[in-house]
Amino acid sequence: MDDLDREATARQTVAYALLGLVTIGWMAGLVFGFASAGGSGGSLVQTTSQWLVPALQGVIGLAILSVAVVLTAIARRIRIRAHVLSSALPRLLAR
């Protein structure tokens, strides 16, 4: 059960880290979008229209990955909950 708890906590931490990346990703996307609209900047900004949408779809991919990681943590928490209820409920109902 301690292993399950540790796994769930680790996965929650990974999900938070992924969400941090996602936040940085969409903010960078907005900055590049505005820079591209301004028409100034180097070659990276000049070609923004070609790579920005695929890159932002990559950010959406990361966001979905964070959802998946959180769901694996929830699955473990449900297993812990079932274990706790299985041991506690019979004692409570026997009172």
Interacting residues with another protein (CB under 8 A): 47, 50-51, 53-55, 57-58, 60-61, 64-65, 67-68, 71-72, 74-75, 78-79, 81-83, 85-87, 89-90, 93
Rounded Cα–Cα distance for residues 58 and 55 (Å): 5
DSSP secondary-structure letter at 31? H
We find the least distance from the C-beta atom of residue 71 to another protein, in angstroms, to be 4
Nearer to another protein, 21 or 85 (CB): 85
C-alpha to C-alpha distances, 14 to 19, 31, 66, 68, 78, nearest whole angstrom: 9, 26, 8, 11, 19
Cβ 74 to another protein shortest distance, Å: 6
Q: Contact 32/43 with Cβ under 8 angstroms?
A: no
Looking at the Cβ atoms of 13 and 47, the one nearer to another protein is 47
Query: In angstroms, rounded to a whole number, what is the distance separating the alpha carbons of residues 54 and 49?
Result: 10
Cβ 38 to another protein, closest distance in Å? Answer: 18
